[in-house]
Each structure stands twice: as C-alpha cells, then as structure tokens.
C-alpha cells in the first residue's frame, strides 16, 4: 500500500530532477534572450579563435551569435608591409565564426590607429600623393574583403574618423585625401563585396556635434548613390558618461537617417574616470586612485554599475526596431582592454561576464524571462 501511494511522488521527484538536469546542462543564453530584438556579439582575441582558450570558447558558443575581431584584422596586423598579408589569425577568426554559424564582423579596414606604418608614407618618409593613397586604400580594401567574401556579414569600413567637436580627425587619410576618403573607401568596399554590410564606426556618439557630422556624411553618401548600411555607435562608457539622453537621441537620429544602428564595443568602466595626464605625486594615493578595487568591486559600486548597464540595455530594447546588433568589447572582465587603460595594471569590471564567467546581475531579467 505504502509503496503504491509513494509511487506518484517518486515519479514526480524523478521528473523534477530530470528537469533540473536539463536546466543545468542548457543554461539560458543571451542569444536566445535577445533573439527577437538584435544580434548579440562579442569582440574576440586570438587566444579564443586560435583554440587556446576553451573556457572562453564555451562561453562564446553558448551566448553569442555574432563576433568581431578585436585586433587581428587591423592593417598593422593583416597588411604589415606593402603587398604583404598575414592571414593566419584572421583566417582562424573567420573559420571560428563560420563553424559556429555566427554573423562575423570585420574590424576594421581604415583606422588611423594601428595603421600599418608604411600605408601613408613614401620611401623618403613623406606622405604619399593622393593618387598613391587611393591606390593603396583600393588595394587594401579589395584584397582583404575579397579573401573573406561571402563569409563576413559586415565591415567597419572607416573607424573613428570624426572628433567630438564634429570636425574631421586629422588622420593620414584625411590629410592626404580630405573628406573624400570616406566616400572613396565605401565605393571600394561596395565593389569588393556587394553582399557585405558596410559601416562607419566611432566612439563618443552622444556628442551632438559628432552626430551632426555623421548625419551629413550618411546623407551625402546616400545622395551620391554610395552604399552605407549602418553606423556603429561604440559603447565605451563609464560611471559618469555618456549622457544617456544624448546617446538615445543619436540612436533615434541615425535610425531616421535610414541606416541600421549597432551598439558596438560596449563596455562600462566601473572605476573612477581618470584622464591620461593624471599626475598624483604620492604613489599610494596614485595607486588608490588608478586601481581602487584590485580585489573586487564594493557592493554599492557593483549595484550602481549594474543599474546603469540595465538602463542602457533597456534603452537598446526600446529601439530594437533600428538596432540590429549589440556587441560587447570582450567576453569576461579579465579580457577587457580597459584593464590596461589609461595605464596598465588596473583591475576593471566593464563587461557582461565576471572573471568567473557568470553573467552580470543586470542580465538576469532577460536571461530568466
């Protein structure tokens, strides 16, 4: 009798533990949580894509459906001397994403920083002529894009071309070709791979002056029939920037301009903002200022950081009609460039996953919905 009466309860227990096991083996993922809204991406370093970091590989494979190359496609890496291309790391990156069915983002074709030193100079060390610069840009874009044609979802064609006051950055591209370097680069890119999306990408996108210039550039490209598919709003943030309302206005204005909007390079420093020129005479005070939380974030700062990130994510969700992708600039906190910026050796907490590879609390409401 007793045995029979217990049977349903035991069956129920059995069912529970099977369900628990299933939940334990298939934890909720970011890519499922945001599937109806936008792609969710991460920047990867070569340890992961060269097979040297299985823990990050598992995290990335579970949570992300888009990846971007943190460094290996920049010109100084991929095209270090004229006519010389180093493909190994970039090939591994592209194969990694292809094998996992991810949307792969190429970063970046033209950028003043990490620009291969030979690119703008002649043999005497002077800037090349406009014709030679055009030839070099055309060759670089066509060679790199052709190699990955059909495999790359979108390219950051031009990175960080405009300053916060809305003027053009005086990069070698600008110095040699003037404003025309942007339309020229987009024309080359469109010719090289008609199916890859083409983007402008920049930081400080909450700046109204910068926004105005980018809106003009987008309108100009469109008026001239030159394809531009999206604008990448880099999301390098801190506890006191950006201005959320201005950031949101930029999302709205770019959306109205008829291009896709991507939140790229998302991370939020949890440390006090320090400018690079900070000069504190006393070493202990200096360390305390620059690296205040080497052993973990205080609870109140952690809470505030999560609250700010949550507000941002809610903003992105409000604009999911124009936002096509949200990409974090790294995977877990230990992998962030911000640990070394503005100087080496800071312990930072800017990414979506902690050093123990757990999702940050602000993501729970999406993961457990």
CB 331 within 8 A of CB 353: yes
Select 70 or 193, whichever has its Cβ closest to ligand 9MR. Answer: 70
Residue 164 designated active-site: no
User: In angstroms, rounded to a whole number, what is the distance separating the alpha carbons of residues 310 and 321?
Assistant: 19
Report, in Å, the least distance between residue 89 CB and ligand 9MR. 13
Comparing CA positions, the residue from 231, 259, 153, 139 lying closest to residue 191 is: 139
Please name the residue ranges forming H helices in 156-270: 172-177, 181-192, 208-223, 244-256
Report, in Å, the least distance between residue 26 CB and ligand 9MR. 31
Q: What are residue 186's DSSP bridge partners?
A: none
Residue 160 designated active-site: yes
Q: Does 113 bind ligand 9MR (CB under 6 A)?
A: yes
Q: Does 265 bind ligand 9MR (CB under 6 A)?
A: yes
Count of residues of this chain found to bind ligand 9MR when the rule CB under 6 A is applied: 8
Q: Does 71 bind ligand 9MR (CB under 6 A)?
A: yes
Q: Does 337 bind ligand 9MR (CB under 6 A)?
A: yes
Report, in Å, the least distance between residue 194 CB and ligand 9MR. 26
User: In angstroms, rounded to a whole number, what is the distance separating the alpha carbons of residues 332 and 356?
Assistant: 8
Q: Taking each helix axis as running N to C, give the angle between helix 208-223 and helix 244-256, from 0 to 180 degrees, rounded to the nearest 10.
A: 10
Residue 267 belongs to what H/E stretch? strand 260-268
Give the contact letters, 28-67, x = binds to ligand 9MR (CB under 6 A), - = no: ----------------------------------------
Select 187 or 250, whichever has its Cβ closest to ligand 9MR. Answer: 250
Task: Give residue number: closest CB to ligand 9MR.
Answer: 337
User: In angstroms, rounded to a whole number, what is the distance separating the alpha carbons of residues 205 and 328?
Assistant: 16
Binding ligand 9MR by CB under 6 A: which of 26, 58, 114, 358?
Answer: 114
Rounded to whole angstroms, the maximal C-alpha distance in the chain is: 98
The residues annotated as belonging to the active site are 160, 265
């Amino acid at each position: 009798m007793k045995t029979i009466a217990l049977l349903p309860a035991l069956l129920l227990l059995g069912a529970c533990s099977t369900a628990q096991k299933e939940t334990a083996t298939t934890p909720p993922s970011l890519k499922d949580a945001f599937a109806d809204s936008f792609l969710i991406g991460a920047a990867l370093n070569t340890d992961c894509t060269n097979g040297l970091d299985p823990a990050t590989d598992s995290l990335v494979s579970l949570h992300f459906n888009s990846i971007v190359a943190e460094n290996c496609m920049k010109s100084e890496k991929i095209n270090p001397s004229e006519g010389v291309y180093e493909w190994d790391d970039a090939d591994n990156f592209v194969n990694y994403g292809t094998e996992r069915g991810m949307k792969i983002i190429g970063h970046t074709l033209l950028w003043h920083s990490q620009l291969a030193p030979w690119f703008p100079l002649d043999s005497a060390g002077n800037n090349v002529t406009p014709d030679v610069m055009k030839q070099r840009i055309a060759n670089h874009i066509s060679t790199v894009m052709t190699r990955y044609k059909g495999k790359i979802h979108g390219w950051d064609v031009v990175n960080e071309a405009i300053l916060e006051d809305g003027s053009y950055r005086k990069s070698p591209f600008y110095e040699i070709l003037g404003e025309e370097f942007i339309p020229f680069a987009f024309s080359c890119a469109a010719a090289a791979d008609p199916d890859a999306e083409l983007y402008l990408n920049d930081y400080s996108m909450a700046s109204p002056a910068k926004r105005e210039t980018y809106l003009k550039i987008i309108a100009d490209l469109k008026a001239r029939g030159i394809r531009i598919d999206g604008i990448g709003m880099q999301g390098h943030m801190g506890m006191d920037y950006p201005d959320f309302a201005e950031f949101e206005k930029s999302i709205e204005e770019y959306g109205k301009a008829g291009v896709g909007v991507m939140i790229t390079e998302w991370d939020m420093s949890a440390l006090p903002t320090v400018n690079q020129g900070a000069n504190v005479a006393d070493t202990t005070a200096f360390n305390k200022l620059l690296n205040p939380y080497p052993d973990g974030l205080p609870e109140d700062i952690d809470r505030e950081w999560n609250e700010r990130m949550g507000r941002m994510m809610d903003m992105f969700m409000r604009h999911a009609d124009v936002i096509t992708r949200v990409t974090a600039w790294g995977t877990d906190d230990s992998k962030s460039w911000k640990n070394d910026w503005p100087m080496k050796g800071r312990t930072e907490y800017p990414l979506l996953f902690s050093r123990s590879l757990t999702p940050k609390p602000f993501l729970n409401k999406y993961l457990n919905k």
